[in-house]
Amino acid sequence: MPRTGIAFTAADYRALPDNAPRMELLDGEYSMSPSPSRRHQEVLANLFALLLAFLRAHPVGKAWISPFDTYLSDSDVLQPDILLLLAAHLDRVADDGVHGAPDLCVEVLSPGTAGHDFTLKREIYRRSGVAEYWIVDPRAESVTLYRLQENPEPRKFDKGERFASPLLPDFAPELAQIFAR
């Protein structure tokens, strides 16, 4: 999407009417996406269900599913597909969303948003202090894990592997569970 040269703020974002289309604010620019595909939603639901079951058994934090505004700066308001806050950071949650960096952000790829997910969103999450970022690819049935504050090299998990997260060491689903149809 071409840049307009107009920089919007989180205050502008908050002033949008309730019936405005679902948007994010990325580096001061509004970004709007069409509704996700059926497959996107299936994968998202599978992963969220696995995370919720894990958090019930291991109450180390709390997770939310999009849309849930995440205010990362005055020019960045995102809606990660899934976000998680560890117990020590639950004070960042308000009725209107999360104010500050989640510990984990997850984006499930869609053809129209993949470019932003791998570049602009990853950079916004990194500079905002997000610890872990997972990019879930329904087509390739893979998950790419970034430790944004520690290591610029991602770890990619492919079909047949068990996913492992340093942030949630006891959370280790098989990728087949995430991509089940």
Instruction: State the chain's mean pLDDT as an integer.
Output: 92
Q: Does residue 3 form part of some domain?
A: no
Q: Does residue 73 form part of some domain?
A: yes
Q: Give the pLDDT confidence of 42-54 residue by residue, as tens digits.
A: 999 999 999 999 9
Q: Does residue 49 form part of some domain?
A: yes
Cis geometry, peptide bond prior to residue 169 (ω within 30 degrees of 0): no
Q: Does residue 1 form part of some domain?
A: no
Q: Give the pLDDT confidence of 111-142 residue by residue, as tens digits.
A: 878 888 999 999 999 999 999 999 999 999 99
Q: Give the pLDDT confidence of 55-82 residue by residue, as tens digits.
A: 999 999 999 999 999 999 999 999 999 9
Give the CATH number for residue 152. 3.90.1570.10
CA dihedral 8, 152, 104, 140 (to 10 degrees): 100
Q: Does residue 82 form part of some domain?
A: yes
Q: Does residue 139 form part of some domain?
A: yes
Q: What is the pTM of this model?
A: 0.92
Q: Does residue 19 form part of some domain?
A: no
Would the pLDDT of 1 be above 70?
A: no
Phi, psi of 122 (to 5 degrees): -60, -45
Which residues form the domain of 173? 35-178
Q: Does residue 30 form part of some domain?
A: no
Average pLDDT on 3-23 reads 81
Average pLDDT on 98-119 reads 92
Total domains in the fold of the chain? 1
